[in-house]
Structure 1
Amino acid sequence: MCGSTVALALTAASKGEPVVAVCGLCNKCSALVVRKDSEIHKPSDLKGKKIAYVPGTMHHVLLLEVLRRAGLDPEKDVHLTRVDFFDMGQALSQGAVDAFLSGEPYPSLAVVNGYGRILAYPYYGEDVGTINAVMITTRDKIKNNRRLIQQLVNAHAMATEQLKNRPEEWLNLASRFGTDRKVLDIAVGNMELAWDLDKEYIQRAKNLAKRMKELGMISQIPDVDALFDLSFVEEARKNMGK
């Protein structure tokens, strides 16, 4: 098992990869950032600007959607520049790019370090919402290791519920991995721990797949129902008495 954005899982499924999403991981987490002293105050101000992104990610999908809503053509009106997430902050602070769209904690880190400003939290409306990442495995792994996968999903679900109910504990534990607590205090409002999946989530994933095809990110829409196996979260609910 590993974590993956829904966008990457959809891309893999559209290419025939035998991936299966077995539980949620997190929602939200994305932000569009500009320099603190920038004259960019709304997405339409990005015209002619250089924007850092990572192709194929959920952040890429959201960036294209932001530009579309602002009436900007990603191929003609802006300069999209591939920059690794780890290097986006430095590129912005040094003026190599005018903006970047990435996941937390990098947007909040830019704010705390004084060189960045959040321009937008670029989420969809109710048709897609704020879905972001899931835990995935393969069909063979489910066939041969169902019990182990179920144990992992159960543990993830229980830990997620505990940390959601104890935000201070969550942030303190997260800070042990090297992210300053000041950064996490800002980022927490843009992060949502998750584990559960349901038919509504799958419908949102279907809507996302449709948008990705319209944006030219995938050549065909995969069988989204087959991408999700809800049996693991259903068992996890029973395990927790939900």
Structure 2
Amino acid sequence: MIGRVCALLVGGVLAALPVGCGSSEGAGRGDVLRIGYQKWGTYSLLKASGGLEPKAREHGLRVEWVEFPAGPPLLEALNAGSLDLGHAGDSPPLFAQAAGVPFAYIAASSPSPESSAIVVRNDSALHDPRDLKGKRIGFVKGSSAHTLVVRVLEKNGLEVSDVTPVYLAPADARTALEGGSIDAWSAWDPYLAAAEVGGGAHRIADGRGYVTGREFYFASKAFAGERPEVVRTFLAELTRVKEWAKERPGEVNRLLADQTGIAIGAIERAEGRRNRYDTGPITDALVAEQQAIADRYVELGLLPHRIDVRDAVARTPIGAKE
């Protein structure tokens, strides 16, 4: 499998990139490759597989994994110089770019819109997105869940000002929903699946028709420029573990349950509707998708100024030809 999966789409071209092809020198900031990851997503699979560590050693690096509850704090850590690589949904990179965080998009996953949703309690009187008017909705500010709320409201004839946003981390939001202090919660897997399986919640709208549900992969701008061969190795190993995961759903479910501490039933529910096991370049179409979200956030006053998403896309620093 490892030998078979070493061709990556990076920067818009197909480039065959052998794993472990870089120098054995350090990263210029020590001998640690620092990766921010969230409890869910393919980075969790890569961490659990242990496959990256021997490849990193070929570059003279040891891997340090740092867990975050959501994308915004992960990007804050990258801004502080505490991370080299990370991932998030659609919104966190936009807020980070507007704040001047020096990062570069390096790749993206395939879509998975059904992996996010707005849920309510099973005994709720809310049955339709239009019922959200005047209600309290919990979500992580600046996250992909925030994008979903904006899109669902606007496509159902509501304004963002028609609801009361309550900014909460996923664990706190679930507690608030179960306790009745919020009326709805915009969440993503695995928190979404766990709420549906064991939290007495059901969805009134999911991402289909509203958002793409992609994972975006990025590096600090300095690291992408200084160590492009390490970025290539990382993407090659991420692609390898995704190919492995496509063929072994049962093993993936058990691995993620062990890795996250989430019940196997919720893992099976979430995995059954995800489709992020392909990695591709940051294309013009993806840039346009991100730009549309950013521009709307400026109009809503959520971003302080307009950004050009293309300015944050890595090109030749990670070995692509233009």
Q: TM-score, normalised by structure 2?
A: 0.66
Q: Higher helix share goes to which structure?
A: 1
Distance 1:60 1:3 in 2: 17
Amino acid paired to 2:222? D
Match of 1:188 in 2: 271
Match of 2:167 in 1: 82
5+ long unaligned stretches in structure 1: 236-242
CA contact (8 A) 1:22 1:135 kept: yes
Q: 1:216 to 1:233 in 2, by over 3 A?
A: farther
Match of 1:240 in 2: none
Q: 1:191 to 1:216 in 2, by over 3 A?
A: farther
Amino acid paired to 2:313? F
Match of 1:98 in 2: 183
Match of 1:174 in 2: 256
Distance 2:213 2:195 in 1: 24
| 1:113 equivalent in alignment to 2:211 | no
CA contact (8 A) 1:44 1:70 kept: yes
Q: 2:221 aligns with which of 133, 139, 142?
A: 139
Amino acid paired to 1:110? A
Aligned-residue offset at 1:121: 0.6
Distance 2:159 2:223 in 1: 42
Aligned-residue offset at 1:229: 2.2
CA contact (8 A) 1:62 1:123 kept: no
Match of 1:20 in 2: 104
Q: 2:232 aligns with which of 150, 174, 179?
A: 150
Amino acid paired to 2:147? V
More displaced stretch, 105-114 vs 29-38: 105-114
Aligned-residue offset at 1:184: 1.5
Amino acid paired to 2:215? A
CA contact (8 A) 1:26 1:191 kept: no
Q: 1:179 to 1:25 in 2, by over 3 A?
A: farther
Q: 1:161 to 1:210 in 2, by over 3 A?
A: farther
Q: 1:67 aligns with which of 153, 156, 168?
A: 153
5+ long unaligned stretches in structure 2: 1-84
Q: 1:217 aligns with which of 302, 309, 313?
A: 302
Amino acid paired to 2:132? L
More displaced stretch, 59-68 vs 11-20: 11-20
Aligned-residue offset at 1:3: 1.4
Match of 1:32 in 2: 118
Does the residue aligned with 1:120 lie in a helix, a strand or coil? strand
CA contact (8 A) 2:110 2:280 kept: no
Amino acid paired to 1:168? G
Distance 2:168 2:224 in 1: 35
- State, as a whole percentage, how many aligned pairs show the same letter: 25
Match of 1:41 in 2: 127
Does the residue aligned with 1:176 lie in a helix, a strand or coil? helix
Q: 1:41 to 1:157 in 2, by over 3 A?
A: same
CA RMSD of the aligned region, Å? 2.2
Distance 1:82 1:18 in 2: 25
Amino acid paired to 2:235? V
CA contact (8 A) 1:58 1:132 kept: no
Q: How many residues align?
A: 231
Question: Could you report, residue by residue, the CA deviation over 1:183-220 in whole angstroms, capped at 9, with x for unpaired residues?
Answer: 02221244332421233222222222223223332133
Question: Could you report, residue by residue, the CA deviation over 1:74-129 in whole angstroms, capped at 9, with x for unpaired residues?
Answer: 32x2221122111222211111111100111122212211510111113445xxx5
Distance 2:187 2:135 in 1: 17
